Amino acid sequence: MAVRFNSSNRWSKEEHTFETMTPLWIFPAYPLMFNGPFAAALTAMTTTKPNNMSLDIIIGGFLMQTLGYSISFMLYAIYFYRLMSTELPLPSKRPAMFISVGPSGFTSQAFILLGRNFQQVIPVGFMGNELLTGQITKVLANWMGFWIWG
């Protein structure tokens, strides 16, 4: 519910219902979803620095990315319900329908890049055999990215 200034009375309420839902509702989750690609880019640059924090950055980026995608996924349910139960948005608002492509694209890119970088920065003895753990993580990250992208 947004509050806007009205000259006749100081404040008025603007109701947002399912019938007026647009993909712009996903925008509050976008800052969370930018963390995954940024973490992947940052860890690609910091793998040679001493006192390496790349593993922490990868885990944090993955967690923020999944949180942002989870929020957008819940909003997708509202958006698809709106599309199936009411008509398409007004023609002037239809280009905004492409906004809903972004969260899946960001998330698939982040998973694939973070999985690749994880294999390069994994510490010795991490979860037993670091080589096997890195390979399994890379394969799982690729398949998760492909699934979300699809």
What was the pLDDT predicted at 2? 56
Mean of pLDDT values over 61-69: 92
Give the pLDDT score at 122. 82
**Residue 117 reports pLDDT greater than 90:** no
Residues 6 or more apart from 108 whose CB is under 8 A from it? 144, 145, 146, 148, 149
If one compares 27 and 41, the residue with the highest pLDDT of the two is: 41
What local confidence, expressed as pLDDT, does residue 67 receive? Answer: 93
How confident is residue 111, by pLDDT bands cut at 50, 70 and 90? very high
**3 - beta bridge partners?**
13
In this model, does residue 50 exceed pLDDT 50? no
Cα separation, 47 vs 50, in Å, equals 8
Q: How far is CA 71 from the centre of its chain?
A: 8
Which pLDDT score, from 0 to 100, does residue 143 have?
A: 94
Q: Where are the domains of the chain?
A: 22-149
In this predicted structure, the answer to whether residue 9 has a pLDDT above a threshold of 60 is no
Amino acid at 7: S
- Whole-prediction pTM: 0.76
Beta carbons of 32 and 64 less than 8 angstroms apart: yes
Q: Give the residue with greater pLDDT, 11 vs 89.
A: 89
